[in-house]
Chains A and B, each alone.
Chain A
Amino acid sequence: METRRSFIQKGGLVVLGVAGGIAGAEKVAAMSARRRKLGMIIDLNRCTGCQSCVVACKGQDKTVRGQFKTRLLTVEADDSPARLVFTPVQCNQCDNPPCVPACPVGAAFKLDNGIVVTDWDKCRSLGNCIKACPYGARFADPRHGRQADKCDFCLGRLEKGLEPACVEACAAGARIFGDFNHPQGEFALYLRKRKLAGRKAELKTGPNIRYVAIRRGQGGVA
């Protein structure tokens, strides 16, 4: 918990005037001057399948019934003894997001921080991006004329100095949020020391959610 906490502290609470003195304002300013690449490392050796991230996410946007910005894939691994393996999934905020070129009106695009977002004023609910996403991360939101929605790492919460809802909800610390370009704390440690894999690597989408596979058995990344 300490690492997560210090991460967010260093990350910019100063701006909010909430936790003054934790990190130097100059440091924050310096950090913010560089291009960031936000992402997540998910350690499946910590994920208990508790669904807290899924419900916390649901509570953020209250998407309509059946639509989720993050979900939990649960598979029975063919191990002996039998075991379950949980894999939280959502938009990977890819380096080469297939959804972006798929949009003929340029509504889908990538922020400088790496987050793939939609310009709601431009989106014409064409649905090309939904089909283009190899991860099934997008869905047509009937509340908004079937515009395509998906995870945006809780941009609104980040702006307020808070972690994405799914990250905060994870008591075991399976979801580690950070900046691939300027890794710190536990995120940096994982980058340095652990073998990480993105989903469907063969598609070369450059997913920015990277997983640590289950240590034993066949607990690969779904």
Chain B
Amino acid sequence: MKEPAGKKRKKEFSPARRTMLKGGAALAGAALLAPATAGAGEAAAGSGEILRQTVPARTDKDVQVVHSVCLGCNARCGNRSVVKNGRLEAYSGNPYHPYNHLGDPVDYATPVAETLALPSPVCAKAHDAPNYVYNPYRILKPLKRMGPRGSGRFEPIEWERLIEEIAGGGKLFAHLGEERHIAGLKELDSDEPIDPAAPELGPKRNGFVFVTGRLQAGRKQIIDRFVKDAMGSKNRIGHTDICGLGFRMGNFALTDKEQWELKADPWGAEYILVFGANIYEALQPGVNTYGAAVAKRSSEGKVKFVIVDPRAQHASVHAEDWIAVKPGQDGALAMGLIRWLLENDRYNKAYLVAPNPAAALKKGHVCYSNATHLVIDDATHPHDRKFLRIADLDPAAAGESGRAWVVLSAANRSPVAFDRAGEALLDEATTVRGAGGVGIKVKTAFRLMKEGVMAHDLDRYAELAGVPRAQIEKTARDFSAHGTRAAVCQYHGAGNYVSGTYAAYAVAMLNALIGSVEAKGGFMSAGGAAASWKKGLYDLRNFQGRRKPAGVAISREKAVYEKSTEYRRKVKETGSGYPARRPWFAFTKGGLSVETLSGIDQKYPYRCRVLFHYFYDPVYSTPGGYRYKETLKDHDKVPLYVSIDTNVNESNIFADYIVPDVTYTEGHYGWLNPHAPALRFTGIRTPCIEPLTGKTADNRCFCLETFLIDLAEKMALPGFGANAIPGGDGRLHPLHRAEDFYLRGFANIAWQAKVPPAAPAEISFVEKNYPVARFKDILPPREWRTTCYALARGGVFGKYEDVFAGGRFKYAVKRVLLYSEDLAAARNSLTGEFFPGTLTYIPPMDSAGEIIAAKDRDYPFAVITHKMNVHTQSRTISHLWAMEIFPENFVVMNAADAGRYGLKDGDRVRLISRSNNKGITGKVRLTKLIRGGCISVSTHYGHTQHGASSLTVKNGAGVFMGGRQVMDKDELIADPRRGTGLNTNMVSRLDENLADTPLVDLTGGIPDFSSTRVKIIKEA
């Protein structure tokens, strides 16, 4: 097709347009238009140009189209770019990707040429991508600090020197009058103990801490290769905690640590209880997938849903009901619902009495529960709190059979191995005969769970949750009226606060009680990757000299305090080993970025020597992140601080070095698997345009991978450089550029997924359109052809129905726990008390065990946050079109509350918390859609960096994307539009008992997003 003319307007003769107006033959085929064959009609009135230039389309001849994976958020939808003259013009979705098509994309075998014109949606964030990629405040060259930390003074540094300084260390800032010797990475490449007095903490290597913000598979593997496998540090730490560790802890406990993300199946459920999941504005899968599927099916009357959230959210538009639960009280509500199910016999007893996989499968369940398994509830028994095992009854039973769990057979009430009974007794407390005839007091897991639930009556739960009893009863009745086609969709809101582990466990338990875990239409995990990236044609995991990290992570995640030198010393000194100086987290999913930074701040359990962080802005994104400004500023706590990012942000403003990175449009190679629920696929992300950052002497772009590879080569670390990657053919291959790694990963995926070699037309489609094709010689032609098949389609995909066989989910978690032995074995490292192994109501408390709501009662408003559908966390302030629709955020407040305080819509107010009495200010927005006594503030606004403030950058015109447009000599010109609104993380509650660091849950290390309370003061 011709490009619409009309770039130059007025007077210009435009044959194409005239043809259209006159109804000529050129358009006769474009059936959607009205070729005015039957008389010109109104069209005859026109005589000139009616079309102005539109953006290039993917069906144009002179554009490049790449199928890739979005990173507007972490939802992992497919995208399809339109690139013209090297510039990203637009994105649509990928027709092969189930996330763009509500689980039902085109058949994977469809030739690419047949799909190019097919519509495929993406969300607003993806449409805003060009503004993100060409953000004038992006940095393209490496920066080195040119003034004190946080002064906002930087200068460009040559790439080679950057590598030398960070690897080698030295007096790196002597020219600024800073005479300290700074240890480079090379000094940490040592097996000496980091603390000779506490060898269990591991080697000096652990002084290298690498915290990752928005990490995804692909880059995760190359970072792990560098940090863990080459440097040998334990401290490659994710940010799962601030992402949403709370609800994950509930699922982690429920599934015996097998899975942490399960959700209601939006394609099959009849009823969804949406617990703190913002399904129309955020979530992963995102608004394009989960919210859209729920909306569409809801419009067809196929699914009903109820929102449980202090804020009614956008999804209120189609919701059956809104349960405005009190912040931090999701657990009380869930326990109330469970109590009603138990008392009204509305739980799935037939499911719960099945004690093993075979018995459950006979009843149609692919996942069984341990409801009937016996737990030793006997303080005199050495295995108290653990499951009763056959060996406890018969010491002669050895091995596997000795370790088998025990149930009471429903046939004769006798204790038998769990796999020997078709059905077992559910609600029992009894004494069994152990070895030598000694009685052992036992209870079923169900009984222990029930006791936890029955500790409070329904009225009490209703009061704690702030929800009418009748609403709880109605909801429980409806939830249990759909067989296994009902489930909870639990996310960030339901449990991301102190004590959240137990709240989230209770919420997750609802699904187990109706037997919908892993059922079609129930509470499902994800189907996993289409194929593995790491093996097959190349071994991308193992290499000569690969190190195994040892010791304790600085976050103390998955580490047992009682094994520490500190504990033994305290036992010796005081008789009790408690309290630990800071909490340890034996039972956690991990990814504890908050306790990492608090550990760095407190130099506990050891000192950080070198801090790297990637795509991460902890000061902005952590509740209470303002506390870390002093941490990052402190040369003693963070002797060398390196940030890898696309921007100067609120955290790396303190960095010694900032390494520029590419965006997902130019890089972020990766293999992206589905989030829960259901589906099985691997999306492949490759660049759509050439990198916009600077280049090394050998023409590699400045980015994460080039940085890590060059550091590794400089230090001669294993796993990088020549001979780094073993091939299946016994040969060794180099890892000198990102593509050396990722293309081999893609080849592995294509090979293992058994995709056919691409047809010549598709090979040429890839070679003509995809920047990665420049590196095709990395792979032998045969491998390239197969890889092209996957590249041309943006991955390897299936449909929703493909994950079921005979209606049963093929990739199910096999077991859910009503009682978790591992959770019960973990202790509160500050008190030494065991954590409960099953449901228990625990209110949000600080580390001293004080209830925060009571302690902060002089602060009348509870603060919650929410995401907006056009934004993602800290990094979308450059999304100009989103900012045009919503130029600022607000203190969203209940209109009735505002009336009492004499506040009107638009009034400016100050929010003051117990931990920040200077407070922050913002504008009030009144609504009925938030619970009284709560305010909600969206994330994304309230920036002080990302272009919101000026900086001094020597030769900045060569550093920032915007060049001279954003520089006035060496001063960056701030854009006030990027500093609007407020960020409540700046007033979050800190823990006075733990060095005023941000609050964390003592069980799992969950940060707190719901317990901060504020006073609201009208500003003059």
Contact = CB atoms under 8 A, between A and B. Distances in A.
Contacts of A171: 93, 100, 102, 121-123, 287-289, 292
B885 A109 contact: no
Contacts of B9: 120, 144
B102 A1 contact: yes
Nearest to B927: A76
Closest 8 CB pairs of A and B: A113-B34, A121-B48, A15-B29, A112-B34, A171-B292, A156-B54, A45-B299, A12-B31
Given A5-B119, A54-B885, A55-B881, A84 B317 contact: yes
B830 interface: no
Contacts, number: 294
A187 interface: no
B296 interface: yes
A140 interface: no
Nearest to A153: B32
Contacts of A76: 927-929
A62 B130 CA distance: 11
Interface string B879-893: 001101100000000
Given A43-B299, A109-B43, A169 B127 contact: yes
B280 interface: yes
B395 interface: no
Contact of B121 (A46, A168, A179): A168
B117 interface: yes
Interface string B1-29: 10010100111000000001101000111
A4 B292 CA distance: 15
Interface string A45-67: 11111111011101111100110
B50 A118 contact: yes
B104 interface: yes
Given A109-B46, A159-B30, A161-B30, A50 B124 contact: yes
Interface string A100-133: 1000001001111111011111100000000000
B314 interface: yes
Nearest to B45: A109
Nearest to B868: A51
B411 to A, nearest CB: 49
14 contacts: A16-B1, A18-B117, A36-B32, A47-B295, A48-B869, A55-B882, A76-B929, A82-B322, A83-B316, A113-B34, A159-B33, A168-B120, A169-B121, A172-B291
B43 A162 contact: no
Interface centre among A22, A56, A86, A118 (most CB of B within 10 A): A56
A196 interface: no
Nearest to A64: B884
B295 A121 contact: no
A49 B34 contact: no
A170 interface: yes
B91 to A, nearest CB: 8
Contacts of A114: 34
B127 A111 contact: no
Interface stretch (B55-63, B253-261, B952-960): B55-63
A156 B123 contact: no
A59 B881 contact: yes
A214 interface: yes
Q: How large is the interface on A (under 10, 10 to 19, 20 to 34, 35 or more residues)?
A: 35 or more
A61 B52 contact: yes
A198 interface: no
Interface residues of B, number: 92
Interface centre among A59, A76, A163 (most CB of B within 10 A): A59
A33 B37 contact: yes
A154 to B, nearest CB: 7
B173 to A, nearest CB: 42
Given A48-B314, A82-B928, 6 more contacts: A12-B30, A36-B32, A43-B299, A100-B42, A112-B38, A161-B1
Contacts of A117: 46, 50
Nearest to A31: B31
A3 to B, nearest CB: 11
Contacts of B34: 35-36, 38, 111-115
A59 B882 CA distance: 11
B438 interface: no
B299 to A, nearest CB: 4
B169 to A, nearest CB: 46
A13 interface: yes
A101 to B, nearest CB: 12
A160 interface: yes
B280 to A, nearest CB: 4
A83 to B, nearest CB: 4
Given A59-B90, A76-B927, A162-B117, A12 B52 contact: no
A191 interface: no
B47 interface: yes
B118 interface: yes
Nearest to B44: A109
Nearest to A53: B124
A120 B881 CA distance: 26
A73 interface: no
Contact of B299 (A10, A46, A49): A46
Contacts of B884: 58, 65-66
A148 to B, nearest CB: 13
B748 interface: no
Contacts of B28: 29, 32
B280 A112 contact: no
A2 to B, nearest CB: 7
A118 to B, nearest CB: 7
A217 B38 CA distance: 46
B306 to A, nearest CB: 10
B196 interface: no
B930 to A, nearest CB: 9
A86 B885 CA distance: 15
A14 interface: yes
Contacts of A56: 124, 127
A56 B295 CA distance: 20
Interface centre among B33, B59, B130 (most CB of A within 10 A): B33
Contacts of B324: 81
A170 to B, nearest CB: 6
A6 B90 CA distance: 23
A70 to B, nearest CB: 11
B100 A19 contact: no
Contact of B47 (A1, A122, A154, A156): A122
Given A50-B291, A84-B316, A121 B11 contact: yes
A52 B93 CA distance: 12
A38 B31 CA distance: 11
B298 interface: yes
Contacts of B4: 156, 159
B30 A15 contact: yes
B49 interface: yes
Nearest to A12: B31
A48 B29 CA distance: 35
A179 B101 CA distance: 23
Contacts of A214: 317-318
Interface string B97-141: 000111010100000011111111111100110100000000000
Contact of A155 (B46, B50, B114, B869): B50
B315 interface: yes
B90 A32 contact: no
Contact of A111 (B36, B121, B314): B36
Given A55-B128, A117-B46, A120-B49, A48 B280 contact: yes
A79 to B, nearest CB: 9
Contact of B52 (A51, A109, A112, A120): A120
B208 to A, nearest CB: 41
Interface centre among B35, B106, B321 (most CB of A within 10 A): B35
B664 to A, nearest CB: 17
B842 interface: no
Contacts of B870: 51, 55
B54 A18 contact: no
B104 A1 contact: yes
B64 to A, nearest CB: 16
